Amino acid sequence: MNEDPKLSNAFFGGGCFWCIEAAFSDLKGVSKVESGYSGGSEVNANYRSVSAGITNHAEICKITYDPKKISYETLVKIFFTAHDPTTYNRQGNDIGPQYRSIIFFSKKNEFDLIEKIISEMERDGTYEKIVTETEPFEKFYKAEDYHQNYYENNPKQPYCSYIIKPKLQKLRKQLKQFYN
């Protein structure tokens, strides 16, 4: 999965992959973030079919990270802070199963950790009810090149200016210790 055996991957979907990509791309310990699709039955997923909602794939990001510099637990907690995990198949104006909140886990201990964090966040009142799905990771389909590094490459695009930028500013202020 990784060319460097010292690196690991995390797979998160929380609305538009441009938002998740922007939230994770400048974290200390994260070496790469790729936008893509997962969780559906269609082979060779692409933006047109996924955004039409006919594949059951979600827009997700593959986060490649160094577990010696940032833990999986920290990534999961940042994921829950970076989007609204209480809305079913929706993030803001992005509506449909392709925008669902989902974490794909590769190992049993990742699943256990996700469940523990969800339980803690519901118990301590961070969120009343988290609807984030958890599924075993099967396949990642990298999105088209124009979706990669979208926020960085298109900061003046209206979606980036009005949706991503304020989210990112809030996240960086709240979790500044994790950002470069």
Up-side HSE of residue 67: CA atoms within 13 Å toward CB? 11
Q: What percent of the chain stands above pLDDT 90?
A: 91
Q: Is the pLDDT of residue 71 over 90?
A: yes
At 110, list the tokens: 């990742």
- pLDDT-based confidence at 84, cuts 50/70/90? very high
Whole-angstrom Cα distance, residue 48 to residue 54?
9
Catalytic residues: 16
3 state DSSP class of 64: strand
Measured CA angle at 46 (ends 29, 41), to 5 deg: 95
Interval 56-67 mean pLDDT: 97
At 65, list the tokens: 């990270």
pTM of the full predicted structure? 0.95
Q: What are phi and psi of 111, to 5 degrees?
A: -60, -45
pLDDT at 132: 98
pLDDT at 42: 84
Whole-angstrom Cα distance, residue 91 to residue 99?
7
Residues, the chain: 180
DSSP per residue over 120-178, as a string? HHHHTTS-S----EEEE----EEPPGGGTTHHHH-TTSHHIIIIIHHHHHHHHHHTGGG
